Amino acid sequence: MNARISLPQPETGQGPGLWGVLNQRRSRRRYVDRALSLAQLSQLLWATYGISGARGDRRLRTAPSAGALFPLDVYVLVNRVADVPAGYYQYQPEDHVLVPAGHEVDPQALRDACLGQSMITEAGAVFCLVAVPDRAVPRYGERAHRYIGLDAGHAMQNLYLAAEALGLGCCAIGAFRDEAVNRVLGLDGVRRWALYLGTVGSL
């Protein structure tokens, strides 16, 4: 069993200009066989759904969320990241750490469930945005499902922009067989389900 992995502190003060990153953002599906660094993975996870501040006793994130309920969990399938054993991890934003997800994921099985898209196994890491409706439904009822989808879109765009700023390639994946992906990722499809996937790799 892989151990909990503390991530380097994210960079928050410097980096490429926003307008240039937006202008360069593209879906990039082809990657070279070079591992991501732990610092890059840290920055990507923080940008996607990390803690960016606080308001009273409420901790805020890099991505907006209806009611600040944050009804997503971020998992990452590590294929090639320096100093991180290959495997499936959950990101815990409160402590900015990765912990083993407690479920083994076969990258080839995930690729098959994603209609054979080769970038699943060629990427350094695959980000999995998982819906957790119990965090939002008590407040918003059926409309919570719309808000969860919007939240996932915000988070995925953050991943895209962070990857672009780091000189990496990113591609969102919405074309997959829901039941098959949930099964591969160990999700029940009712209380938790895969909503959006994104690959990141070296260029």
Q: What is the pTM of this model?
A: 0.96
Q: Is residue 13 part of a domain?
A: no
- In the chain, how many domains are there? 1
Q: What pLDDT sits at residue 8?
A: 96
Q: What is the CA radius of gyration of the chain?
A: 16
Q: Is 78 helix (H, G, I), strand (E, B) or coil?
A: strand
Does any domain span residue 1?
no
Residue 89 belongs to a domain = yes
pLDDT score at 2:
66
Indicate whether 6 belongs to any domain. no
Is residue 111 assigned to a domain?
A: yes
The answer to whether residue 2 is domain-embedded is no
CATH number of the domain to which 136 belongs: 3.40.109.10
The pLDDT confidence band at residue 15, using thresholds 50, 70 and 90, is confident
> pLDDT tens for residues 36-52?
999 999 999 999 999 99
Answer yes or no: is 83 within a domain: yes
In a domain, 12, yes or no: no
What domain range is 52 assigned to? Answer: 26-202
Closest CA to 83 of 1, 170, 169, 5: 5
